[in-house]
Structure 1
């Protein structure tokens, strides 16, 4: 019962309904026009039938690609038409039936219903050509110039029926307008089609003069022409591919991206499926170009392009170079959360893959920032959609780069905080000339703090303390000597003692301004540990202010998931596992659980599976 319901559900789709009706009517027409029986043919005629079936199968082996994509053509139409002109419609349909059955048996790479649809369309074409030929007074038998008019009109009808059926099918599959599809078919394939059809008259002449040898000679000519058409359309496809490909990265070009985005948006709306768009930008690419020159910069673009293709091609995602060091990915079937999961994995892969000269980057590795927008029913204009993705990209950049942001998930702070944030950011910008990593890290921790303030439902006072304290928690690092702050090897014990003093230096800097002295506990105590083994005072448990305990968790999580020189990033799952293992020792257990819950609900909705879901997924993958 379920199979029957599934069958009728499939029929509701227009292209499936169309295919079913064509197959049904084609079968009826075949029965109606093939009036002869097997006993009506002589032995010599059966030899001709078998020879022509063999010729059809050989020519089908030499099929060649024609536009639109997925449309293939062979010289077999010449055989069917020649059989029609010399022996009649029943003879031609019998050859079609035998060759279709044999093709169905041996060519199982093509679905059975496509074989059936192909048989039905050929039946339509042969019968329509036959009716035209008979109506114009054409006679079966040897070629005669007096019947040239009937030959040509029959060929034209055969071609027109073929174009119409193929055009309707691709129109229903890809939408657009039927006129555009038919026009494109005529423009791109007319030469190949007409060459095939005119060869049928050549075969009629050859059959009239020397039956077997004429068919053999035609078959040789047909195979050579099929090979020539293959090469021609291979060259056509290569030129099209080259025009649509960015030569430096191997990704699709900007213009092709603009063209395909409309198509993907239309398909997603019609099917009601999710879709996301990603705009991403290589971080600090200009600095790399200035250091090593444009040729090496081009190599970096090619390197990143290969990483994108490696990640996107298996998922059938459309990756393009948008311009300069900016890229885009069209992700059909992906929600915003799923897209973020994918991009974070690509970001980690990019961070962890070595490349020459990455020491000049602030993170000591190749990194990118990305903005994601998920399509909704209001996404009617692609320029608007691109603009939203750009805004999300800007938000990712403002968080300190090497991060991914989803449009619409940005938190809006009360206006009363805006001025304080702007003032403190001016202090932070001093890091830009001394330690870019600390500047970006502070911006990311601030972003997490804004989210957690909402998640913990903090009051206005605690909210202000938490987000401002997160923004300047490492301000004391300004006092650390530059050679220690940017050292890329392990610190000595003496150097580590200097680094640990940044919390006390930060306290002194904050106390200079009376307005922000209430932020001191977060600046001074965010490295205290729940078990009392932290610094600077060795406070334990609830002796540490609650917001400082929360800031310790956020600070550690960002450090684990962000690339630093000679230290690979952890994935979100790996960082969360580290937090779980350190509950009750380094981190407050209750607040750790809250933060894990926040990450799982907002940032990892498609990565974190329950045990039952994992078991179900495993059982689905293994049919045994």
Structure 2
């Protein structure tokens, strides 16, 4: 039958369950046995010793089953046969002797685990014995007319073991009871079936062949146990190959995914910290291009061997994530411990010799690493991977050969994020370079104005980011306007102007397709609203328009007035300031207009002083 195995860090809930099972098992044993063994005649004791010896031999003939550490022994066939031939009381006596002897032989197992397994057997034997009696079974030879009693007894024994073990793993792993029991049945049903059928075979052998029949049964059972062990060994060998990256000897990506999910569940259940490090070899492509893929594979293998050796010494799960990327899954490591360990590993690799490392920028092997720690708000393995990957990105951005922990140096992360977002938006704006170069230049100028203004306004870092990026992307919707209208030298016709006005709606839809830029949609959609409510697309008025959108309207209009446009004359800075003041209160927010004018005048004054 399947036996228990406890896990470090989870013994509290497991011990409570074991205590309850032990109390129930001992109570049932005491109630059912009644110390009847004190009155057994000598022939009965001879059989008890013989059956105890048989059960001990089968107890030591273990069959291993998933989940890892589960052990199934075939002594249950002896107990069931004993119920069918001699009754439940004799069977409990055989169990007691078996467990006492096994307790003195197996000193590596804690006493409470021995007691728990004894109690589980006692519960199953008692329930099976009661079932056999309830369905009209009589101890002795196998009787065909009593087949329902035998089948029901076998079913109760099987169900009892499955439920008792399933509840234990349900408590330990905090999963669903249904899934836990289903996994146990799926993994061990065939072995259970063999054990239960063998119990009926043993009944026939005992009744008709006495002790010789028992010897024949032991030979058959031992051979079956040996066969199961060979099959399990083959299974493990195939599983190991399936879970191993052949190039490095590390675990592969698939195994990493499974292990990560399991370790997250363990961490959440026990409260033990868990960290994940993602490692990427720096400048590996340069090495690969210079020496070829075969030598590059040798370098990957060398790094894999180093990681594997280090990981095995510290209880860490090292995997090849793909290409030159590796993962280190670190149970019991908090974020600080993980950083210290990965930094030491980085330095060790820096000092490792390998052919050709002199072509690397630092003249040595180097990697960048990102570390994330499993926290209470991590509900899915992909979240932890994304955080570690993001930390790895920041590590690369800091110049490589560094270790970065997720959430550290938030100001640096914000700066790097902002720089990357600017580049992403500029890639989109590059499309204007063939369609309307002036819109491209206008967007860049408005962005620079917004950068200056954001430093003067009393706004938080997130608002500053949204405002400046919104200024850069505000005209993105003009990509949908036909080239002929965008570049028309004459005044636009009414229907053409209506099409131009649609660019704010088209731009908003573009921004909403990317989660990174959806917060910029208001700046795209509302930068042509007017303070007096006569703008488009909604006709919002005054405070209905977000404050920074009102500021963007002023910046956009000022740049439009002071640079050459095909459908309007160009104004000087002084003329543009006059226009801004003239439209303050109607087109523009009066307060923000004066704020912007003060900025422009100050800038012009500094430019004049510099010219002198």
Question: Structure 1 CA distance, aligned partners of 2:415 and 2:362?
Answer: 33
Which protein shows a greater Rg?
A: 2
Question: Structure 2 CA distance, aligned partners of 1:216 and 1:34?
Answer: 27
What is the deviation of 1:411?
Answer: 5.5
Question: Structure 1 CA distance, aligned partners of 2:284 and 2:416?
Answer: 33
Work out whether residues 347 and 367 of structure 1, in 8 Å CA contact, stay in contact via their aligned partners in 2. Answer: yes
Change in Cα spacing, 1:414 to 1:35, as seen in structure 2 (3 Å) is closer
1:205 aligned partner: 204
1:53 aligned partner: 52
2:263 aligned partner: 264
Question: Structure 2 CA distance, aligned partners of 1:416 and 1:191?
Answer: 60
What secondary structure is seen at the aligned counterpart in 2 of 1:218? helix
Deviations 1:175-218 (A, max 9, x none): 21111111111112110111011101111000011211111111
What is the deviation of 1:412?
Answer: 2.4
2:151 aligned partner: 152
Range 373-382 or range 123-132, more displaced = 373-382
Work out whether residues 171 and 178 of structure 1, in 8 Å CA contact, stay in contact via their aligned partners in 2. Answer: yes
Work out whether residues 280 and 327 of structure 1, in 8 Å CA contact, stay in contact via their aligned partners in 2. Answer: yes
Work out whether residues 278 and 328 of structure 2, in 8 Å CA contact, stay in contact via their aligned partners in 1. Answer: yes
- Please list, as runs of the form range in 1=range in 2, the aligned pairs for 1:436-451 lying within 5 A after superposition: none
Question: Structure 2 CA distance, aligned partners of 1:391 and 1:123?
Answer: 54
Work out whether residues 394 and 416 of structure 2, in 8 Å CA contact, stay in contact via their aligned partners in 1. Answer: no
Change in Cα spacing, 1:107 to 1:417, as seen in structure 2 (3 Å) is closer
Change in Cα spacing, 1:414 to 1:300, as seen in structure 2 (3 Å) is closer
What secondary structure is seen at the aligned counterpart in 2 of 1:363? coil
1:75 aligned partner: 74
Deviations 1:12-47 (A, max 9, x none): 933221111001110000000012433321212211
What secondary structure is seen at the aligned counterpart in 2 of 1:276? strand
Question: Structure 1 CA distance, aligned partners of 2:414 and 2:156?
Answer: 73
What is the deviation of 1:355?
Answer: 2.3
What is the deviation of 1:241?
Answer: 2.7
What is the deviation of 1:298?
Answer: 2.3
1:615 aligned partner: none
- Please list, as runs of the form range in 1=range in 2, the aligned pairs for 1:120-131 lying within 5 A after superposition: 120-131=119-130
What is the deviation of 1:112?
Answer: 1.3
Change in Cα spacing, 1:152 to 1:413, as seen in structure 2 (3 Å) is closer
Range 174-183 or range 30-39, more displaced = 30-39
1:224 aligned partner: 223
Question: Structure 1 CA distance, aligned partners of 2:179 and 2:60?
Answer: 30
1:109 aligned partner: 108
Change in Cα spacing, 1:414 to 1:362, as seen in structure 2 (3 Å) is closer
Change in Cα spacing, 1:299 to 1:417, as seen in structure 2 (3 Å) is closer
What is the deviation of 1:240?
Answer: 2.6
What secondary structure is seen at the aligned counterpart in 2 of 1:13? helix
1:349 aligned partner: 348
What secondary structure is seen at the aligned counterpart in 1 of 2:93? helix
1:28 aligned partner: 27
What secondary structure is seen at the aligned counterpart in 2 of 1:46? helix
Question: Structure 1 CA distance, aligned partners of 2:89 and 2:68?
Answer: 33
Aligned CA RMSD, in angstroms, stands at 2.4
Change in Cα spacing, 1:414 to 1:158, as seen in structure 2 (3 Å) is closer
The list of structure 1 runs, each at least 4 consecutive aligned residues, that deviate by more than 4 angstroms after superposition, is 413-420
Question: Structure 2 CA distance, aligned partners of 1:98 and 1:416?
Answer: 72
What is the deviation of 1:419?
Answer: 12
What is the deviation of 1:414?
Answer: 12
Deviations 1:429-474 (A, max 9, x none): xxxxxxxxxxxxxxxxxxxxxxxxxxxxxxxxxxxxxxxxxxxxxx
Change in Cα spacing, 1:418 to 1:183, as seen in structure 2 (3 Å) is closer
1:137 aligned partner: 136
2:539 aligned partner: none
Change in Cα spacing, 1:308 to 1:241, as seen in structure 2 (3 Å) is same
Range 48-57 or range 312-321, more displaced = 312-321
Gaps of 5+ in 2: 1-8, 420-612
Question: Structure 2 CA distance, aligned partners of 1:192 and 1:418?
Answer: 57
1:246 aligned partner: 245
Work out whether residues 250 and 305 of structure 1, in 8 Å CA contact, stay in contact via their aligned partners in 2. Answer: yes
What secondary structure is seen at the aligned counterpart in 1 of 2:372? strand
What is the deviation of 1:275?
Answer: 2.1
| 1:303 and 2:302 correspond | yes
Question: Structure 2 CA distance, aligned partners of 1:402 and 1:293?
Answer: 23
| 1:287 and 2:286 correspond | yes
- Please list, as runs of the form range in 1=range in 2, the aligned pairs for 1:546-585 lying within 5 A after superposition: none
Question: Structure 2 CA distance, aligned partners of 1:249 and 1:175?
Answer: 34
Question: Structure 2 CA distance, aligned partners of 1:220 and 1:341?
Answer: 56
Gaps of 5+ in 1: 1-9, 421-624
- Please list, as runs of the form range in 1=range in 2, the aligned pairs for 1:322-361 lying within 5 A after superposition: 322-361=321-360
- Please list, as runs of the form range in 1=range in 2, the aligned pairs for 1:398-413 lying within 5 A after superposition: 398-410=397-409, 412=411
What is the deviation of 1:392?
Answer: 1.5
What secondary structure is seen at the aligned counterpart in 2 of 1:220? helix
| 1:393 and 2:392 correspond | yes
What secondary structure is seen at the aligned counterpart in 2 of 1:377? coil
Question: Structure 1 CA distance, aligned partners of 2:230 and 2:301?
Answer: 29
Instruction: Count matched residues.
Output: 411
Work out whether residues 397 and 416 of structure 2, in 8 Å CA contact, stay in contact via their aligned partners in 1. Answer: no
Change in Cα spacing, 1:203 to 1:107, as seen in structure 2 (3 Å) is same
1:170 aligned partner: 169
Range 152-161 or range 328-337, more displaced = 328-337
2:497 aligned partner: none
Question: Structure 2 CA distance, aligned partners of 1:415 and 1:90?
Answer: 74
Question: Structure 2 CA distance, aligned partners of 1:39 and 1:13?
Answer: 38
What is the deviation of 1:11?
Answer: 11
Work out whether residues 11 and 17 of structure 1, in 8 Å CA contact, stay in contact via their aligned partners in 2. Answer: no
Work out whether residues 10 and 270 of structure 2, in 8 Å CA contact, stay in contact via their aligned partners in 1. Answer: no
2:195 aligned partner: 196
What secondary structure is seen at the aligned counterpart in 2 of 1:210? helix
Change in Cα spacing, 1:413 to 1:327, as seen in structure 2 (3 Å) is closer
Range 263-272 or range 57-66, more displaced = 263-272
